[in-house]
Structures are given as structure tokens and as C-alpha cells.
Structure 1
Amino acid sequence: MMTRQGVSLTMWTLRMIAAVALAVLLPGAHALAGETKTISSVEVQGEDGVTRIVLRGAKDAIYTAFMREDPPRLILELPDVAFEGVSTPISVKNGLVEDVTLGAFGDAKAGHGMARVSIALATASDYEVKPQGDEIVVELRAGAVAASQPGPPEVAPEAAPEPAPEAAAVAAPTETASAPASAPAAPKLQSAKIQSIVAIAEGVEIGATGPIDNVDSFALQNPDRIVIDLFGVKSGMRLAKQSFSEGVVSQARIGEHPDKVRVVLDLRSPAGKPTVVPTAQGVRVELAAAESATAAKPTEMASSVPAAPAAESTGPEPEPSGDPSVQSVHFESLPTHDRVVITLGRKVKASQFAPDDSTLIVMLKDATIDEATERRVDTKEFGGPIELFSVFKTPDVPSPEVRVVLKRNVSEPATLTWEGAQLRIEMARPAGSAAALPAPAAATDATAQATSETLPTSADADMPSADATEPASADESPAPAAPAPEAAKAAAAPAAPASAKAGSQGQVAYDPFLDGPADPASIDLLEEGGFDEGKAYQGRRVSLDFKDADIANILRLIAEVSDLNVIAGQEVTGKVTIRLVDVPWDQALDVILLTKGLGFVRIGNILRIAPVETLKLESEARLQDRRSREKLEDLVVKLQPVNFAKASDLGKLVKRLLSGRGSVNVDDRTNTLIIKDIPSVIHEATALVKAVDTQTPQVLIEAKIVEATLNFSRGLGVLWGVGWDSPTDSADTIQPNLLPGLGLQQNNFLTGNPIGNPTGLLNLGILGLDDKLQLDMQLQAGEENRQGKVISSPRVVTLDNKQAVIKQGVAIKFTEVTSDKINTSGVDAVLELKVTPHITANRSIIMKLGVSKNSPNLSTATGDIVGINKNETKTEAILRDGETMVLGGIYVVDNGHGSTKVPFLADIPGIGTFFRNKEVKDERRELLVFVTPRIVQGVQADVQ
């Protein structure tokens, strides 16, 4: 089994062999390249599980082939070769090859160009490159790729009739090095790693462990700098910035992102558009002088003044003359407008439409874009009219189309202008609004920035580097070389945090083209006192891995990531060894300070780091000084009006806050507090009064009271009567009607069983014995059926925790006679509803309810004394605002059957029926109460 040391030595040997091979082969290739070779056609063939890609036109071309993973693809580089009349990308999708993409870098006619063929694979594959005259044939077969691990690139033999023996001898081990299929995976070699940046006369040379096949670059002004995006690589640089004493580049700054490494080149003087020339071990960035660049492309350094408004379309579609794919996307925030710049291979037809006031869509017909170039950028931090924009390929359309979707905060249309093959989408800032940042920002992956911040690892670093690269400062930049705008920007950085809003003229302490817009300042996340087990950490997540790093540099690193202003004195010293992965920065700060016995205090937007003991002594000294000043400070008088509460009640609360020299008095007439104390106590007392003296919320109680009654009664009876003449009154005659109420004689002695409320009467004179004696009978019958419903809907408004009462009914008076006087009293026979509401914090309402239904009972009345029927219920419930509660169950059913009779006579069979009566009674009553509370939205008065 090979040891790790043996593997490292082997890989180092292979790299040296590849470097020697390139050094031997490439100079000879350039010497033989007398003229530029041109690939005129690309053909894809497939048979028997083999896919062939034929490149025609590049006779005896030198090539370099190597595999890339995640996603799997085969890269073929051909120096001094150009493409002509070949469309890209070429879609294959045969299960082995997805597509073939062609690209060119540099200027092949000038001798420093390169053509690149990128073959996207569906799965890992074996490949073989076969030069055949003026053709290069690439064969791919499904299966485990022998050279799946990135290693030294395969270099084609020199295209000479008799290759030099040295070249052949060197190239052979290279082929062998990539042959074993059983070699273990080497994650650290999956992508190239930047190792050095060297200044040359015409620019810089970026050295890496392998070729870099995806590069984007653009130039920025004010100050002048060049931005180089190297996709799919990692940074192996120990320092985040590197200064140069000679050349047009004064400083290079490196920032690592999840999908790329960004290199920002600060220039000593203006330069034209950069030319990026790929090399076998990195890239070379060549910068043209400002004069030559201006002469060659007078529009390249054009002013950022907004162009004239364009129509719905930018004009007639130009003649196609190149690849319509999107090459790069970047964003510029200027003082007068925001600009999105789309660079294509040629002009295409562009149009815009607005589906709503906040969205604008720009459509680029016949344009294409690959996934690596698609962007979604949040630009809200710049405070301009464009808050967010996305660039992507339109799915499910018959012809290729790229869309640019802008989220805007203004309703005006955008201005579309072409400058060469560069489309500029501009939106003017509203009047009175200025750019928060004076320079444009490159489009970055906003999703990656929002999730986490990953910092590079360093084993032994005196000066740790972060993803958020440190800004250039006056003491670190070369004095004679730093541009004035950059130095001024660095000097102003501590006074202007990155959360400056639109309209702010302050500069920020970071370069947005290196790291993208930073998160808003997070100083409010911190709590004084340092580490606390119960604290909730919400800061941006970072990863730190350092050994024996100076704690002062660690604090500077955290300050850079979190946008904090940090001051640490001489007593903050020492070294720490930490490894923190994906933790909030505020938690990392607390743990680091706890490790070294440090704490911090906030002074505005500045953190002061000091030992905990020092902070405790200072805190005790400040407290002692405050107590001393309280005894010597002059007293002041404050008149504090009270709007809603009682001043006397608040006076008791305020009195507890006063110092030993203070006093509080109450003016009941104006409901005002008169507070006398030192200014600091007066301020606390005023704040207490304003917090407590708030408007009491009100509740509207809506009630519906329904009372339903159903009565039924029936009676049947007989009334007997007898009359005669008195013997002493011989002259009188017998009255014809002897029944009670119908003129009975006073001497009648026989009555029957009358019913209570007869509705039918039948008088019968049954028997006349003689002129002196007469017997009469009256039949009585009655039936009653009554239905009733009483509905009332009272409403009342009451304060929170105050009782509201609703009454409805009559008051019954009666007299009380005593030995010396007569008293008249009254009893309420009413329907009464009592409600006490309480509003909770979540705007629910707790109600205490009391319902009573009292009514007079006339059936039991004796003289002027009347009985009272009482029905009462009490409950407590919780309701939401506007909900209705129903109170029921007050239900009375009174059923009765009764009879009265004449003793003995009623028991005689047959005729006994005429000497008794019967009554049937059915009475029902029900009471329902519906209660709906509603919170009244009152207007809060301002407390003076």
C-alpha cells in the first residue's frame, strides 16, 4: 500500500514531468506555427457505443486534452487555433455526450490565442484523441474513465516530421501517469488552485496547479481596476492581497467564493479592456495602454451618462455575424442611474414589456446562455431603482431566447442601448436620490452569498485572510502608487458602515466588486458582557481554521465579515488556535473573547475590546461617579401632563424612581404631575409616564335577547244554583236567574265548581218545584292557546375591565304597613345583562357574564304583594374579536292536570259528572342570549 508521502511525491513528480513536457513542446509548436489554423466545421458521429467528434481544418494542430469532474467534461485546448463559421453549442444528447461547446480566448492571429472545445458528458467516459491530417478525431466510449482524476494534462506530440527524442521521452510518462483506473480519488486535485500572482510588464500572470478553462473579466472605473473571475478553481494564496512595486498593477486582491475565485487588480493608471490568455498553468492578463485602447475602441471608455431613451425595440435586427450567446453579465450602480450590462457575441433583437409596475422583462431573441453565466443578483443594498435582476434561458420556447427580469421600485420603462455587442439596460434614479456606492458591482451568485461565508484555511498564518477581503488602507497600500480615490475611500471606511442607504454620501469599508454587497451592519445582534449561555446567535455564518494566529488579526477578520468597527488596546494580546465550521460570527466572537478572558462594550456603532476585569473596574467607576453626581447635580422641574390615567395613581409609581432629593406633586385640576429631581431621573420618570399613560381600549358589546313563550289551557265545569222566596215576603216572586254573577238571590245555598276563566256559558233552568222554589244549572267551558316572542337588541360600549349593565323590564311597587307608618318599596322584575370584558395581548376578549330574567308572578299575588319569578345564570368565556357566544338553557316547562268536585254528589254514578270540573295546563318558556364583543379601534392621543 502506497503511503500518503509516496502519493504526494509521485504527484509532484508527475507535475514536474508535465511542466518539462510543456516547456519542451510548446516553444517548438509556436516556432512552427507560421500561420493561424482555422477549424471550419465540427461533426458528431455515433456508432456501436462510440461517439466521434471530428474537428476539421486545423492541420497538424497541437492540442492539450484533460478531463474535468462535477460535471464531467472533456476539455481540448488548441493554441493558435481559431473557429470560423461554426455554431455553438452543438446539442448531442445521445446518452454519452450532452453537448459540445466551442470557445476562443485571446487573439490567435497575434500569436497568443487559444481555441477550447468543451465536451459535456452524461457520465464518466474513456476518451482518445487521434490527429488525422487536417482533422482531429475525439473518440469517447462509455465506462470508467482512466484519467478521471485531474492530473497532468495530456499533451499532443509536436507536429514535426521527425519529433525530437527528448520530446517523445518526456511525453511518454505523461500518458502513463493518467492511465491507471484504480488510482484513489484525490479530492484536493478536483479543481485547479491558484498559487501565485506575478506582475509582468503588460499586466499580471496568475499561476495555478493546472489550466483554468472558464474565465470572465471586465474593467471598472473610479478608481481604475480590473476584475478577473476564475470559475471552478480554489485559492491557495496565503494572503488576501499582494502589492507590486512596478508595472501598471499596484495591488492584487483575492477573494474566494463557492463557485469561483475573484481577483481584483488595482491599477496605477487607466487601461483598456483586459486580454486574458490561458496558459497550461493558469492565465495571463494583458492590459493595453489607455491611449491605444481609446484609439482602438473609442466607445470602450465611454462616459456613464444615460443614453437617449430607446423605443420598444432597439431597432432593426442586425445581420448575424457571430455567436449570439451571453458572454458575461454585470451590474453598475451609478450616481444618476442603475445599469445592467449584457455582453453577447453579436447583437440580437431586444424588446421589453412590463407585466406589472414592479416587474420589467427584457427579451433577447435568438440569444443563448449557459448555466455558468446565468445570474440572479440582489442589488437592493445599492438603493437604486433596480432591486433584483435575473438572467436566464427561457424554457419551453421554439426558438432560443434569453430573458432579463428586473424587479424595480419605479414604474418607468428601461432604456435599452447597444454599444458594439454589449446591451446596456439602464433605469434612472428618482430625483434627489444618489447612489449609495459610486462604482458598479459585478454580478455574483446571490444565493451563495446569502447562506454562508467561507473563509480560506491557513495552517500557520500571521495575517489570516477572509472571504471578505480587507479593504485597502492608507498604511498598507504603497504610498506613491495608491490612487487618490482608493485612498480616500479607505480613510473614510470606518465612519460609514456597509448598511448606508440610498442618498448617503459616505463610502463603505469593502470593495463590492471583490465580495459583492455585504450584509447590513449587525451590531444590534450583540449584547454587552460577552458570552452568555442563554443568548440566541443570529449572525452571518462563517468558518475559521487557524493555528497560533494573533488574536488582534482574528478580531480584524471578524470585524471585516460582520461590518463592525472594533477597537482593541495594547492589553489585547496573545495567540489562539481555532477551528470553527459554519457558526454565527457573533458566537465565534463570544467564544474567542471568553477564551482569552476578554469582553466588549458598545459605544455607538463601535465595539471596544478589553479584558473583563478592566471592563468591570470601569463599570464600577462609572456607577460610583454617577452616584456622586446625583448628590451634587442641580435639580430641575418637569410638568408632565397625564392624558388617560389618573395623575394621583401615576404619582405613586413615579415616586419610587426618584432620588433622595426628588419629589412629585399632583395637580388634580389639570391632571398633571409636577416632578422635581436631577435630569437623569426626570428622563426615566417621563419615560415611565409615557409608557403607562396609554389609551384604555374599549369594547362594544352587542347583545340579542330572545324570549319565546307557549301557553295552553282548557277547563270544563258546572255551576248549580237554588232560589226561594222568604216566607215573610209573600209578595215577591222568584227571580228567573239564580246563578252567581247573574243576579242570584241572597238566600241561595247551592253552588257547583266554576272554572277560572270561562269562555262559554250555558244557563239551564232545570226544575221549578213551585212558585216559591227554583233549581238552576250553568255549564262552563274554556280553552286558551297563546304563543309569544320578545326580541331586544341592546348595545353598549365599555372600557377594558369595566362592567357594562343592560336592563329591561318593570319595577313593582308594594306597601308595607307598620304600627306607626306606611312604607312604599319597589322590586325590579327585569331582564338584566352584566358584562365585564378584558382584552388579552393577542386581542382575544375574556368576558364575565351575568344574565337574569325576573318576572312578576300574578297567580300568587295577595293583595298588593306580588311574587317574583327569577331565572339567573353566570359564566366566564374567552372569545376572539367579533365572535358570538350563545347563552341558552333557561327553559321552563309547566304541565298540569287538575279537577275540583262536590263531595258525595260527584261520586254518584251518572249524575256525578255534573258536580265536578277538570282543567289541563301546558306552559313553556325559553330565554336565549347572543353576545358579540368587538374591540373599538380608538385613536391614540400623543402624550406630551
Structure 2
Amino acid sequence: MDLPGVANGLGKSVVDINQGNLRSVAVATAGDRTRLVLNLRQPSNYRVELQGKALVVVLDNASAPALATSGDATHFAKPQNDNPLPVRDIDFRRGPDGTGRVVVSLASTQVGVDIRQQGQSLVVEFLRSSLPDTLRRRLDVADFGTPVQSIASFQTGDRVRLVVEPKGAWEHSAYQNDNQFVLEVKPLKADPNKLVQGPGYSGEKLSLNFQNIEVRALLQVIADFTNFNVVTSDTVTGSVTLRLKDVPWDQALDIIMQSKGLGVRKNGNVLWIAPKDELAAKEQLDLEARKKLAELEPLRTQSFQLNYTKADEVAKGLSGQSTSGGSSSGSGGNSNASSSSNSSSGAGNQTQRMLSPRGSVIFETRTNQLFVTDIPSKLEEIQALIAKIDIPVRQVLIEARIVEADDKFGRTLGVKLGGADLRGNAGGIPGYSVAGGNYVQIGSNYANLGRQLSGTAGAVNITDGSTQLVNLPAATLNGQSAASLALSLFSPTANRLLNLELSALEADGKGKIISSPRVITADQGKAIIEQGEEIPYQVASSSGATSIQFKKASLKLEVTPQITPEGSVIMDLDVAKDSRGTDTIGGPAINTKHAKTQVLVENGGTVVIGGIFTQEERTDVNKVPLLGDIPVLGHLFRNTSKVTNKTELLIFITPKIVTERGAAR
């Protein structure tokens, strides 16, 4: 309310009321008029009456307080279902940059969703929905390192209500993918010069309507409204005309600053307002003064005891040297602030110094201590740096499981067929008569025929191989000989023989080899664990002398883990499973199974980094031409071998971040 021709005789610009809906009254004078601004807790209807010399303002009763604290609901999706649909699952996950994600699995895309901010909480309501008893709970998710501290879910009428409790400065967004609704709460980094933390402008809204009001008076009005202490430079002059309605006060101040080329610096609850050039000049003078002070300020020496970090590495970092540089003498070393080491342009190992040009550092490796001489402000910076880097390195336990399975099956069939005619040994005529008084004798080879026709007693031994017409026995499998069955057909005088030997072998084998190496190592530290044997073999030199050399056949796990900020583990893996093979003239052969890769696995999760499956099927047939192809009887003139081998290799990796409690155990 503007009162023309009235001055402020109260002696103050703000009158605190704090009764009912009225919080305070701000009094501002501009020219020949005075403006009264009534700061209400919430919107209200009013009427103004003039009773004599008194101006009476009557405020109607405000609405219920609960309505004021509840923000307007955002209708994310309208309900399209007639009957209540169940909520299937409620989960929480950590996203990139510390984002908290509340993931709700719905039964259908027809479920309506309302979102509103109630105080510091986010309330999500799923319309015409039901919540199973197993999901009516409160999740404490503060350990995930996101703004979300807890999630509560419960049933209210025909709605499922989800109350998300964030902390600090944050902003939220929501989206839905098929039946999955996701609410994201992202942290906001605080800006020390921002008047009100949060996304965009979020200060309390006000309305301003002034014509040709002095900038200094307008700033005083905003200061009274916000309860900030304002320091205005003497160079702030001029007037401004503006009309703002329901605008956040921080946005209104920003508009005034931009229109007049002013800048603002915030220090606690004090705002310093001056022209931008003046602020820049003042800051430049402060920097130059601090620089001169650093050149004249007395030096101090402070010792730092390091627990987990090597003192020499920290000293080289403070003095701008690489970890491979620096000097040491005995158990300690010195890194000073000489101008040559600080301005050398040819040294590739020079990095940015943290010490001042006058500072120096000495390290003692025996006690792992640092002795830093520098100005007090630099000592405080170094102390803060050491507090951040001198911390225990987290450790990771890597468990590997190498599973080798094989399934072997083999079957082989064979036959031996032989015959002998021994009538020549008894004075008879061997062989069989043909036309013209000729005879035909059958034998396995010339030697066998000659002995049968010689008529010499004992010339033919029916047990040796010379009597065999077909010699195709079953082959051995896995070093085992085949079983055999022999039949012999002979004449009554036992001077003509026909021998038959059948052999068969079937082998079936299954095996499994499980190797489980495990190793623990520090974050980003390489670890190697190896077990096996070194096989010796002889090698001849050019001079003829022999020497002994060795080949490794071992199980080896080499890993370099890296713990991510969100708690997962990135691993550079090199897994090898070697075994001794067959012996050759040049030395033993090595059967190698090797996998090298990089994987990302969540803490405690298991991943299969590799698998090799081989299947070998082999069928061999050895036969007598033509005779071996005769149906049924052809089996007497051939042998058959069938082998099926299956092998499978799987490598499982499970990383586990070792906590302090787990390390103590």
C-alpha cells in the first residue's frame, strides 16, 4: 500500500508481527511517499478501511496449514484403469554423479501417477493401485551416497503413496519406460555466491511496483524482505522503474544488478553490492596484497606424520617433482624452493608446485615424516591435502573358479580270421583239386604256403601270425586292450583249421577339474598368484654339449582391480591354466588355456569371463576291399572305431571389496 505525502516516523524499516497469517510489515520511503509491504505466510483475502486517522487492514482467515505446505501436484500420467492394479516392486539404485534412482515396477502403463513436493519431501502417488504387504516398508538408503536418505511406501485408500526423503540441495525428474517408473533425485553443487541454493531462482516471491525509486532504497526494501544484511558501495547511485509481480526475490535482485551493472558478493548473511568494475578491482587488490604478504610473511615449520602414504612421494609432489625425481641422503631427503628447479623449462618431470616460492620440504623415510617450512596459509593447505590423501587404500579379494569338464566315449570292434591246411605234414596232398589234376592251396602269404606244401612235420605253427588271413583287431582305448572271443573250425583229423577271433572294447569316462585361486590386493595394485611345476628337458648346444632347461606348466591368476566411486570393481584379468602335454624330441608340449580381458563387476557379483566348448567326433573304419562291404559277412573283414570327446572350460570371477571389519577378521 502506497501512502502519498507520508514519511516514515517509526525509526525502523521492519516491524515484526508474527501473529496469525501476518509475519511482518516492511516500511519503505521513496520521495514523498511511503510504501507498506505486508509479508504473509500464505495468500489471503483482505480489505482496507479508513477510520479517522487510522488505516485498518483486515486479513481473512487463511486456509489450512497443511494446504500451504503441500505443493501443487504434477499430473505425470492420467489413470486409464478402472480396477486397482498391484505395484510389483520398489527398488533403489545409485546412478552417475551421485544420482539416486527410485525404480517402481508397475503392472500396466495405464496406472496414473501424481508427483508433488511436500516440504523437503517428494511424494509420488500411484492412482488406483494396490501395494502388497511385502512392499509396505521403509528403505534406508543413506549409505548409497545420494541425496535420498529414505523411501517409505504405504497404502492410502485406492492409492499407493511413496514418500522420498532427500537431503541437501537437489533437483528431481521423472520418466516412465513401459511398466517401469523412475524418479531421479540429483544433487546440486552449492555456489557460495548464489543467494539461494537450488535450481534456478527459488527465493520467496514478492511483488514490486516502483517508479523512479533510488537503487539504494530499493536494495533496502529487498534487504528488509529477506532479512539479509546489505552493504552498499558509495558508488551505487541512480534510480530505477520496475514492476514485478510474484517474482522470487533472488531473481528480482539479479534483475536490478544487471540493469545497473552491479555485482554482489555473499559472505554468510551479508551481501556486498557494488559496481562490477569496483568488485573486480577490489579482488585484484586483495590478490596482490596476499601475494606481497606471502613474500614478507614469516615462515613456519610444521611436521606431518604420514600413516599410509610414503613421505618421499608426498614431498616430491609438494615440490613439483615427479615420483622418479628428487634427491635423498641417508634415510631422508630435501626438496627446496630454488628458482632453478621451479623455472626449468627443459625438465619434463616438473609439475605444478604446491609450496610457495619460499617454501621447502624435508622427508624422513625411517619415521615416514614430513617437515614443511612455509607461510601459514600454505601449511593449512598442505595439512588439508594430507588429510585427504593419507588414508588407507581399500582392498579387493578376487576369487577365481576355473571349471574343466570332459566327457569321453569310445567304441571299437575288430576281427582276426585265419586258416591252415596241415595235410601235407601227414603225407597227404594239401589244397583242393581243380580240373586237370591241379590243386589250389590258400594261405596268408608265400611263407605260409611254402610250409604247408613242404610236407615237413611242424613246418607250420598255427599260433603265429602267418596263418592269419585277416588281421584287423580292435584298437586300444585309454591304454586298455579289447576283450576277445576266439572260435576254431577244424576237420575230424585236425589237419584243416579255420580260426576266427572277435574283439570289442567300449570306454566311457567323465571328469571335472575345479581350480579355485584367490588373491587379495590393494585398489589399483597388481596381484599375481601362481601354482604349478617346471618341467626339465635337455637341450643340445652347437658344441654338442647338453644343458637342462625348464618349461612352466602352472595355474596363474594376474589381476589389477580398480574400485569405482559407486562401489563396483573394474578388473584387468589375465588367467592361464597350463598343463603338461605329450613328450616330444624337442621337449615336453604344454597344453595352454588362457583368457585376458577387462570387466566391470558389482561388489560380490560373479561374472563368467570366458568359456571354451569343444566336441570331437571321430569314426575310423579299416577293411579289406570289396569283402569288407559285404552285408553282415563284411564285419569279418573290417574293424570299426568310434570316439566322441566333449570338453568344456568356464572361468568365473567374483570380486569382493574388503571392509575394515572383514580385514580385521
1:929 aligns with 2:651: yes
The partner residue of 1:761 within 484, 507, 522 is 484
Q: How has the CA–CA distance of structure 1 residues 845 and 575 changed in structure 2, closer, same or farther, with 3 Å as cutoff? A: same
1:895 aligns with 2:559: no
Name the amino acid aligned to 2:523.
D
Q: How has the CA–CA distance of structure 1 residues 657 and 829 changed in structure 2, closer, same or farther, with 3 Å as cutoff? A: closer
Q: How has the CA–CA distance of structure 1 residues 810 and 770 changed in structure 2, closer, same or farther, with 3 Å as cutoff? A: farther
Which structure's relative contact order is higher, taking Cα pairs within 8 Å and 6+ residues apart?
2
- Secondary structure of 2:277's counterpart equals helix
How do 1:253-332 residues align onto structure 2 when only pairs under 5 Å count? 255-256=39-40, 258-260=42-44
Partner residue in 2 for 1:640: 304
- Where does structure 2 lack aligned partners over 5 or more consecutive residues? 7-14, 30-35, 70-116, 121-167, 169-188, 320-352, 419-443
Partner residue in 2 for 1:825: 550
Partner residue in 1 for 2:262: 598
What is the rounded CA distance, in whole Å, between the counterparts of 1:910 and 1:596 in structure 2? 112
Q: Is the 8 A contact 1:816 1:825 kept in 2?
A: no
What is the rounded CA distance, in whole Å, between the counterparts of 2:535 and 2:278 in structure 1? 83
Q: Is the 8 A contact 2:26 2:224 kept in 1?
A: no
- Secondary structure of 2:403's counterpart equals strand
Q: CA deviation at 1:804?
A: 4.2
The partner residue of 1:885 within 603, 607, 619 is 607
What is the rounded CA distance, in whole Å, between the counterparts of 2:472 and 2:594 in structure 1? 39
Q: Is the 8 A contact 1:812 1:829 kept in 2?
A: no
| Cα RMSD after superposing both structures | 5.4
1:838 aligns with 2:502: no
Q: Which has the larger radius of gyration?
A: 1
Partner residue in 2 for 1:686: 383
State which drifts further: 601-610 or 768-777: 768-777
What is the rounded CA distance, in whole Å, between the counterparts of 2:527 and 2:291 in structure 1? 50
What is the rounded CA distance, in whole Å, between the counterparts of 1:705 and 1:849 in structure 2? 13
1:869 aligns with 2:591: yes
Q: How has the CA–CA distance of structure 1 residues 547 and 657 changed in structure 2, closer, same or farther, with 3 Å as cutoff? A: same
Partner residue in 1 for 2:91: none
Q: Is the 8 A contact 1:805 1:834 kept in 2?
A: yes
Partner residue in 1 for 2:230: 566
Partner residue in 1 for 2:519: 796
Q: How has the CA–CA distance of structure 1 residues 259 and 597 changed in structure 2, closer, same or farther, with 3 Å as cutoff? A: closer
The structure whose residues are more often strand, as a share, is: 2
- Secondary structure of 1:752's counterpart equals strand
Name the amino acid aligned to 1:650.
V
- Secondary structure of 1:883's counterpart equals coil
Q: CA deviation at 1:254?
A: 5.4
What is the rounded CA distance, in whole Å, between the counterparts of 1:664 and 1:194 in structure 2? 68
Q: Is the 8 A contact 1:530 1:594 kept in 2?
A: no
Q: TM-score, normalised by structure 2?
A: 0.56
Partner residue in 1 for 2:280: 616
How do 1:230-245 residues align onto structure 2 when only pairs under 5 Å count? 239=27
Name the amino acid aligned to 2:407.
L
What is the rounded CA distance, in whole Å, between the counterparts of 2:532 and 2:416 in structure 1? 40
What is the rounded CA distance, in whole Å, between the counterparts of 2:618 and 2:118 in structure 1? 86
- Percent identical among aligned pairs is 35
Q: CA deviation at 1:677?
A: 1.9
What is the rounded CA distance, in whole Å, between the counterparts of 2:229 and 2:662 in structure 1? 40
What is the rounded CA distance, in whole Å, between the counterparts of 1:285 and 1:678 in structure 2? 64
Q: Is the 8 A contact 2:595 2:610 kept in 1?
A: no
What is the rounded CA distance, in whole Å, between the counterparts of 1:253 and 1:657 in structure 2? 53
1:785 aligns with 2:504: no
Partner residue in 1 for 2:359: 662
How do 1:445-594 residues align onto structure 2 when only pairs under 5 Å count? 527-528=192-193, 536-594=200-258
What is the rounded CA distance, in whole Å, between the counterparts of 2:409 and 2:49 in structure 1? 111
Q: CA deviation at 1:785?
A: 0.9
Q: Is the 8 A contact 2:44 2:61 kept in 1?
A: no
- Secondary structure of 1:917's counterpart equals strand
Name the amino acid aligned to 1:927.
L
Q: How has the CA–CA distance of structure 1 residues 692 and 776 changed in structure 2, closer, same or farther, with 3 Å as cutoff? A: same
Q: Is the 8 A contact 2:553 2:580 kept in 1?
A: no
What is the rounded CA distance, in whole Å, between the counterparts of 1:280 and 1:562 in structure 2? 30
Q: CA deviation at 1:828?
A: 1.1
Q: How has the CA–CA distance of structure 1 residues 836 and 783 changed in structure 2, closer, same or farther, with 3 Å as cutoff? A: same
How do 1:742-761 residues align onto structure 2 when only pairs under 5 Å count? 752-754=471-473, 755-756=475-476, 757-761=480-484
What is the rounded CA distance, in whole Å, between the counterparts of 1:836 and 1:377 in structure 2? 57
Q: Is the 8 A contact 1:715 1:917 kept in 2?
A: yes
Q: How has the CA–CA distance of structure 1 residues 539 and 764 changed in structure 2, closer, same or farther, with 3 Å as cutoff? A: same
- Secondary structure of 2:314's counterpart equals helix
Partner residue in 2 for 1:677: 374
Q: How has the CA–CA distance of structure 1 residues 763 and 664 changed in structure 2, closer, same or farther, with 3 Å as cutoff? A: farther
Cα displacement string for residues 370-408 of structure 1 (whole angstroms, at most 9, x for unaligned residues): 9857445999xxxxxxxxxxxxxxxxxxxxxxxxxxxxx
Q: How has the CA–CA distance of structure 1 residues 813 and 917 changed in structure 2, closer, same or farther, with 3 Å as cutoff? A: farther
- Where does structure 1 lack aligned partners over 5 or more consecutive residues? 1-192, 199-223, 242-251, 264-277, 287-369, 380-446, 451-519, 740-746
Q: Is the 8 A contact 1:230 1:262 kept in 2?
A: no
What is the rounded CA distance, in whole Å, between the counterparts of 2:618 and 2:577 in structure 1? 23
Q: How many pairs were matched up?
A: 461
What is the rounded CA distance, in whole Å, between the counterparts of 1:865 and 1:900 in structure 2? 33
What is the rounded CA distance, in whole Å, between the counterparts of 2:662 and 2:253 in structure 1? 43
What is the rounded CA distance, in whole Å, between the counterparts of 1:775 and 1:811 in structure 2? 56
Name the amino acid aligned to 1:823.
I
Q: How has the CA–CA distance of structure 1 residues 566 and 814 changed in structure 2, closer, same or farther, with 3 Å as cutoff? A: same
- Secondary structure of 2:357's counterpart equals coil
- Secondary structure of 2:295's counterpart equals helix
Name the amino acid aligned to 1:667.
E
What is the rounded CA distance, in whole Å, between the counterparts of 2:610 and 2:18 in structure 1? 79
Cα displacement string for residues 389-438 of structure 1 (whole angstroms, at most 9, x for unaligned residues): xxxxxxxxxxxxxxxxxxxxxxxxxxxxxxxxxxxxxxxxxxxxxxxxxx
Q: TM-score, normalised by structure 1?
A: 0.41
Q: CA deviation at 1:865?
A: 4.0
Partner residue in 1 for 2:294: 630
Q: CA deviation at 1:567?
A: 1.9
Q: CA deviation at 1:679?
A: 1.8
